[in-house]
Structure 1
Amino acid sequence: MKLTDRRKRAFLKELERHGILARAARAASPRASSRYGALQTFKDERERDPEFARQWDEAMEAAKADVEHELFRRAQEGYLEPIYGGRYREQVVGYVTKYSDRLLELRAKALLPAYREISSVSVNGRVTHNLDAGVLGDAVAKVALQMAEGLRSLPPPVRVIDHEPG
């Protein structure tokens, strides 16, 4: 299937909506035989055409901005959750505003360095890694620290000799 300007525009418009490459390619290539919707065709065009690459990057930035705005909205402005009532709880009788503490925590870690958890890991006293729990996630950082502690408690490596010294 030929990559027309119309298909490029459809791809970019869909990419801007959600930032999912395979889904955008599928939307712009409805008759493609692959379930990825000719994604490689769009990737190849990105390599060939710097203007298309620029538009692709702009579409991704717009998608990221929409996600960032939604995180802000749910964390700080809140969202309405319906309250159901009636005999069989079939009617919406009101709404309550809910906020997401977890999303607010993630935004704070992303925007405010003081809220990031920094841990440094030293393995056998030689290699040091800095783990930013705000980026890696609390669970991943904790597991990495536990693994490093386990490595530190291992005995030194044993040297294997193929023959008896003599």
Structure 2
Amino acid sequence: MNDRLIRRKRPRDSALRDVFLEHLKKAANVSDAARAAGIDRKTAYNWRKGDPLFSESWRLAIEEATDLLEGEARRRAIEGYDEPVLHGGRLVCDAEGQPVTRKRYSDGLLRMLLRAHRPASFGGGRTTPDHDDLPPVTSEGDDAL
């Protein structure tokens, strides 16, 4: 009977792990991912500790979420974002009643991205950027990639 209980839990655990990892990919937040999967944070950490495959999936989910964050930082730094205009604590609207916005850019995010990718020029903590995930450069040109 104990074996039956274990077998019944495994498919459910697998589905819960999938839900957890999908949410972890989006926000890199263990608490939110655990809530979405309906599990306790400790359960997720126990799974990570006891299952190397799950641990690697966790690491990859965090990497994916971090890539999303970096993309958003880059967008805000370069393309900017629309900020509503306030006057006297009230939203300013145009003649049609639409909120007036101004384009804002984040110099702080731009500096952070430059320090991360060009530390020698812009004074980051690392001496070389981390590009271990890029394909190796070959002498055969772009066709080799």
C-alpha deviation, 1:13, in angstroms:
0.7
- Structure 1-normalised TM-score? 0.58
Q: Which residue of 2 aligns with 1:105?
A: 111
Letter in 1 for 2:122: Y
Map of 1:26-65 to 2, 5 A cutoff? 26-29=35-38, 37-65=39-67
- Structure 2-normalised TM-score? 0.65
Are 2:34 and 1:25 aligned? yes
> Structure 1: which 5+ runs fail to align?
30-36, 118-131, 133-166
Letter in 1 for 2:36: A
**C-alpha distance after superposition, 1:18-74 (max 9, x if no partner):** 001111112111xxxxxxx51111111112212111111111011000000010000
Are 2:122 and 1:115 aligned? yes
Q: Which residue of 2 aligns with 1:6?
A: 15
C-alpha deviation, 1:81, in angstroms:
2.5
Q: Secondary structure at the match of 1:92?
A: coil
- Paired residues of 1:21 and 1:39 also in contact (CA < 8 A): yes
Q: Secondary structure at the match of 1:96?
A: strand
User: Root-mean-square deviation (CA), in Å?
Assistant: 2.2
Distance 1:60 1:10 in 2: 14
- Segments of 4+ in structure 1 off by > 6 A? none
C-alpha deviation, 1:86, in angstroms:
5.0
Which structure's residues are more often strand, by fraction? 1
Q: Which residue of 1 aligns with 2:132?
A: none
Which structure's residues are more often helix, by fraction? 2
Distance 1:62 1:52 in 2: 15
Give 1 or 2 for the bigger CA radius of gyration. 1
Distance 1:108 1:9 in 2: 35
Q: Larger relative CO (CA 8 A, sep 6+): 1 or 2?
A: 2
Distance 1:81 1:102 in 2: 17
> Structure 2: which 5+ runs fail to align?
1-8, 86-91, 126-145
Does 13-22 or 38-47 show the bigger shift? 38-47
Work out the number of aligned pairs and report it: 108
Distance 1:19 1:28 in 2: 14
Q: Which residue of 2 aligns with 1:85?
A: 93
Q: Secondary structure at the match of 1:81?
A: strand
